[in-house]
Amino acid sequence: MTSVTRFAPSPTGALHIGNIRTALINWLWARKSGGRFLLRMDDTDSARSTEDFAQGIRGDLAWLGLIPDSEVRQSDRFDLYEGRFAALRDAGHVYPCYETPEELDLRRKILLGRGLPPVYERTALKLSDADRATLEAEGRRPHWRFRLDHDQPIAWDDLIRGAQHFDAHALSDPVIRRADGSWLYMLPSAIDDVEMGVTHVVRGEDHVSNTAAQVQMFAALGASPPAFAHAALLTGAEGKLSKRLGSLGVDHFREAGIEPIAVKALLARLGTSDPVEPVVDTAPLVATFDFSRFGRAPARFDESELAQLNTRIVHQLPFGAVADRLPQGMDAEAWDAVRPNLITVADAAVWWRVVEGPVAVTPDPGDRDYLALAHRLVGEIDWSADPWHALTGALKIATGRKGKSLFLPLRRALTGMDHGPDMAALLPLIGRERALERLLP
């Protein structure tokens, strides 16, 4: 059977780091197993879902290279949900409830006050047809709940969490439809997973209790449940859940100069037993992906770790991977020269300005004669091989200087900087004419 995963965001906002990790894990498993990765827009909330947010989600996935094999929208599937809902209603799997939110809230408080779990007591099932007719005559419209089978144990072997067991008595019958007819998450999601042939539902551990109810929904729909994998949630660098994680998304990473592969390289290994490594493509991430490597402890996301990983990756990126983002005229030789000193690819522009100039530096008075000699020697040395070592070698013989006193005045005069790329690689890019101009007494 071909593996099918799905990423199912609601287009009510931008993706954040937790969403991105979920999408990535689904994509990695689909690619590892030779299966398909689907995008499903869970846009049943018509008041908050927008096409702008949907487009943003597509754009974020594209930037990350997580291209879905196909896409569906729940708002196009309401007829399907109506049909499945009617069948479940006729079979007694769903039932109408007439309590107001205020009544439900009061009942929950009473149960908690008695030290009891706040589980819905199925009051609506005790209503007669006449009771329901009276309530509807008063203007009340029902919301609908899925009726859990209390005689059927709920269990599954989670690919990350291991054997899972739930007592249906300890769960409230989940609300699946509001009084205004709009859908909540639970039932449409299960219907779609069946209709789309989803074989693996991969999501955060905050959905475990949803899965317990959905296992019975799949049975009521006449389908076998997919395999489930619930990953531990991300925590912040301070070791606890952080609101900031909800604000970190693709726009933030892009503006910070983070490479898509750095985001993937970190998130693919967070919460696993595998080390985070500075890979430059996804092949190693796909090859080593294994649900059994994930632990149950919260996965710690540290933005500074991402920045450091990104820098290590930038130092390995080939010219072809960055050529379209480099300043005009910057070639592979220049990229190789400056790459070891970059934090982000955008920083290459700083060093290209150093190469092209102009560079204005006022030398120390004690270095004027030294730089005048360097100016003369620049015009005499052989530039066809290694002009930097030819120049410094000649200066060392002529002046007896060595170490910092030999190299630093030259670097400052030629680049305007006290540090930077290897001058042996940078000087040929600067060239004889610009070097003469910068060393001019």
CA dihedral 175, 177, 180, 181 (to 10 degrees): -170
Do residues 346 and 257 make contact, with C-beta atoms less than 8 angstroms apart?
yes
What DSSP designation does 292 have? G
Is 243 labelled as part of a ligand binding site?
yes
**CB 199: neighbour CB atoms within 10 A?**
20
User: How far is the C-alpha of 441 from the C-alpha of 435, rounded, in Å?
Assistant: 12
Task: Select from 166, 152, 168, 155 the least CA-distant residue to 225.
Answer: 155
Question: Which residue's structure tokens are 């200066």?
Answer: 395
- Listing DSSP states for 350-366 in one string gives HHHHHHH--------GG
Token pair listed for 418: 């006290």
Which long-range CB contacts under 8 A does 242-247 form with residues at least 24 apart? 245/16, 245/17, 245/18, 245/301, 246/16, 246/18, 247/16
Token pair listed for 337: 């020269």
Task: Let me know how many helices (H) and strands (E) the chain has, helices first.
Answer: 18, 12
Residue ranges at the known binding site: 243
Q: List the binding residues for ATP.
A: 243
